[in-house]
Amino acid sequence: MQEKICRAIESDEYLEFEYDHHRRVVRPLILFKSKDERLSIGGPQVDGTSESGNMAYWRTFNLEKISSIEVVTGPSTVAGSDKVMPDTVEKYDPNSDKYEEVICAKEISEL
């Protein structure tokens, strides 16, 4: 699963998966190990649903809760912008100390 996620990050593709009984489509920007040793994906959710009923821009997804993960073609535009949702650059810092270990990540300059 990690290789599939890193390939999607490197090639700017999207991931579709089930998470907490909801279908999600995410533009993965980082795969990391958190301070509590959990592997997670960070990135904007661009389609699907969530428990809250709202599709938040930036989300973190614990790999242990993900099932049926597939690489998919994402939308050409999201929220009126070209793949970069309004808060993506604001909330994304691959050098943040919240990431214990970065497995693979998009550089901010690549957004």
What pLDDT digit, counting tens, does each position of 48-87 carry?
Answer: 888 776 666 788 999 999 999 999 987 654 544 445 555 6
Taking only the tens place, the pLDDT of each residue in 95-106 is 888 899 999 999
Can you give the pTM of this predicted structure? 0.84
73 three-class SS: coil
User: In 3-state terms, what secondary structure has residue 7?
Assistant: helix
Q: What is the model's pLDDT at position 109? A: 80
**Longest pairwise C-alpha distance within the chain:** 36
Task: Give dist(CA 47, CA 59) in Å, integer.
Answer: 12
Q: What is the mean pLDDT of residues 8-18?
A: 93
